[in-house]
Structure 1
Amino acid sequence: MPLFSAGRVPVCRLSTGLIAVLALSACSPTFNWRELRPQGTPLKVLMPCKPEHASRTVPLAGSGTEMHLHSCDTGGLSFAVAWVDLRELARVDAALVEWPRASLASLRLAPEVADAAQARWDFQMPGAPKALGLSVQGTGPQGQAVLMRAAYFARGTQVFQAAVYGPQLPGEVTATFFEALQLP
């Protein structure tokens, strides 16, 4: 399986995702889905709660880079969308390798887990020629088991991460979150 893959999302998949969003928002006050368009990016995402925004400098692809993060917690789950603008295309491939490994380290997992076929899930992002999906179980800061499903993708010099963390990851909730990601 290649490290990165690109592809198209069938129209029926988008329609299914939209139906799921409408069904979830009608039935569940826990997941109050809303569209987010992170400033300075073409990305559109649905967040299930009102996100908070933060930014900080992180070491990525050979230098300090400002990372922007929108995140929120609801229903026992944490949702996050983060991005960086590397300003140089030559740094993108390195960032798409380093960022997933850093995410794994935060869950007390070895960086090599990113290379394991069983840690991968088929994530494709139309408009992003390179994309990677990871689905793993690690350990949280208080020693509890934490599941993470994350997607990493790039367009131009911008690199993105979308992730859901929790003790369990309900399929319909994670599907709604990831299927709604768009790079128009």
Structure 2
Amino acid sequence: MSGVRRVNRCRPVVRSVAFAVAMMASGACTPTFNWRDVRIADKGLVALLPCKADHAKRAVPLGSESVEVDMSGCEAGGATFAVAHAGAADAVQADAWLRAWQRASRAQMGDSAVSEAAAAVPRASMSPAPWKLESRRVSDTTVQTHILWFSQRTATGVSLYQATVLGNPSAPEAVTTFFEGLRLP
């Protein structure tokens, strides 16, 4: 009988320790990528971001003009995920701005190896056409930057977007999840 009593006295202690360990472990299980929908610049695009987004506006030189760009982004898993938006008056202005935006982005790549290709974005305008770019350091095969440009005609002009992942996320599928999570109305 005395052996039974010891087990019974130990049970509450074991339960308490198990509960404390479970509570500490659950605190350590916070997901690195906590995906959420974020409306971009109230213009219709919804982006799937892996963390709570910060929002900002800034003037960006696009060709001979300084254009106000709305930006939303955050950092998760060792990479920055961001979407920028600018509103052009018409397709001609949109094409000129998008080309300038692409040139400016390429110029920042330095000695990186750059690969570019046409892209597909559901409901995006075909002019200017969606375009993607990836850069890798020459000394490394690791992708450092992923950029996707696309546009959509609206009742008041053309919305231009640049979606970017800078760095290498700790979960490689995060890049695909981010780009596939871009939804135009």
TM-score normalised per structure 2: 0.70
- Secondary structure of the equivalent of 2:95? helix
Check conservation: 1:147, 1:168, Cα contact below 8 A. no
What runs of 5+ residues in structure 1 fail to find an aligned partner?
1-26, 140-144
Aligned CA distance change for structure 1 residues 61 and 169 (closer, same or farther; 3 Å): farther
1:72 to 74, 98, 101: 74
Which letter maps to 1:161?
Q
Deviation at 1:170, TM superposition (A): 4.5
Q: Select the structure with the greater relative contact order (CA < 8 A; seq sep ≥ 6).
A: 1
- Secondary structure of the equivalent of 1:119? strand
2:115 to 100, 115, 119: 119
1:36 aligns with 2:38: yes
Aligned to 1:147: 144
Q: Whose Rg is larger?
A: 2
Check conservation: 2:130, 2:148, Cα contact below 8 A. yes
**Sequence identity of aligned pairs in percent?**
35
Which letter maps to 2:107?
A
Aligned CA distance change for structure 1 residues 170 and 107 (closer, same or farther; 3 Å): farther
The one-character-per-residue Cα deviations of 1:124-157 (angstroms, maximum 9, x if unpaired) are 1111122001111259xxxxx8710110001121
Check conservation: 1:61, 1:91, Cα contact below 8 A. no
CA distance in 2, matches of 1:40, 1:61: 25
Aligned CA distance change for structure 1 residues 29 and 99 (closer, same or farther; 3 Å): same
Aligned CA distance change for structure 1 residues 48 and 138 (closer, same or farther; 3 Å): same
Aligned CA distance change for structure 1 residues 34 and 107 (closer, same or farther; 3 Å): same
Which letter maps to 1:137?
R
The count of corresponding residues between Structure 1 and Structure 2 is: 147
CA distance in 2, matches of 1:158, 1:61: 17
User: In the TM superposition, what are the counterparts of 1:43-122 in structure 2 within 5 Å?
Assistant: 43-108=45-110, 119-121=115-117
CA distance in 1, matches of 2:151, 2:76: 27
What runs of 5+ residues in structure 2 fail to find an aligned partner?
1-28
Aligned CA distance change for structure 1 residues 61 and 89 (closer, same or farther; 3 Å): farther
Aligned to 1:15: none
Q: Aligned-pair RMSD on alpha carbons? A: 2.5
